[in-house]
Amino acid sequence: MTKVIIVEDEDIIRKGLLCTVDWLSMDAVVVAACANGQEGLEAIKQHKPDLVITDIKMPVMDGLTMIETAQNEGLEFLPVVLTSYSDFDYARRSISLKVFDYLLKPVSDEKLAELMEKAAVRIDAEKRSRQAAELVSAGADGESVTLRNMQVDNPHVKYALQRIETDWKDHLSIESIASELNISSSYLSRVFKTECGKTFLDFLNGYRIQKAVELLSTKEYRVYEVADMTGFSEYKQFHRVFKEYTSVSPTEFVKGAGAVLKK
């Protein structure tokens, strides 16, 4: 359920949003309704909301200052700005604060429902992206990313792991490594799975996706660039494998992480 905070100094608007909107039908709940930005900031710290709907011009602390202060303190939520036509130029300043969306006063039920549906998708993507990043960074099943230090007895398997760690950007295959070792690929495939508990391709893809998460998190590369940098021959293959290992697509991961690509 989406946790929402409303910050609005006009009583009629604040109470209208609080009392007349069917939040439960949108799988949401209002955890606080505040009359100014200072109250809103305290409520954000206390309730850790998913979404904050705020006016801009308010006494004590305005909405943009509240958003900026909360973000600077590391508080994560989707900011939504309430605005009127006369305030819109002012509202555009909020772009630098990564405002999720705008609601034009008076707020219509239809627009609010559309916003909540869109917000639910983003919130879910962000949560799954964080979980995916944690999972992949730690390595599936707690595997160390330093593959050469894995405790394996078979020298052929050890060599294959070293090749994954050093040459993951290249077009590796169990067949090519078996050829280098002058052994059959079926034998290497069998002993690899016996020693490591996973197939060679599972290990290779898992390691590549770890690297892909690291590269995407830098916000310096586009998704198709990362696909090429991590040894995937086709973008479609990268997209499929990334989603298989993380439960989100590369694009969803970038959006969920709030990434902004550098020009």
> What's the token pair of residue 104?
């034009």
pLDDT of 99 > 80? The answer is yes
pLDDT at position 259, please? 38
Read off the pLDDT band of 72 (50, 70, 90). very high
pLDDT at position 147, please? 56
Task: List the alpha helices (DSSP H) in the chain.
Answer: 11-19, 37-47, 63-72, 88-91, 109-138, 155-167, 174-181, 185-196, 200-217, 223-229, 235-246, 250-256
Q: Is 102 helix (H, G, I), strand (E, B) or coil?
A: strand
31-41 per-position pLDDT tens digit:
999 999 999 99
> What's the token pair of residue 168?
């993951």
152-161 per-position pLDDT tens digit:
788 999 899 9
pLDDT at position 148, please? 53
pLDDT at position 142, please? 43
Read off the pLDDT band of 48 (50, 70, 90). very high
pLDDT of 85 > 60? The answer is no
What's the mean pLDDT when you consider all of the chain? 83
Which is nearest to 119 in space by CA: 214, 43, 47, 51?
51
pLDDT of 149 > 60? The answer is no
pLDDT of 262 > 80? The answer is no
> What's the token pair of residue 71?
């973000």
pLDDT of 139 > 70? The answer is no
pLDDT at position 131, please? 60
pTM of the predicted protein model: 0.56
- Residue ranges and CATH numbers for the domains of the chain are 2-107 (3.40.50.2300), 135-256 (1.10.10.60)
> What's the token pair of residue 209?
């996706």
199-252 per-position pLDDT tens digit:
999 889 988 988 888 888 788 889 999 999 999 988 999 999 988 887 778 888
User: Between 242 and 138, where is the model more confident?
Assistant: 242
Q: What angle do the packed helices 155-167 and 185-196 form, to 10 degrees?
A: 90
- Sheet containing 51-55: which strands, arranged edge to edge? 28-34, 2-7, 51-55, 78-83, 101-104
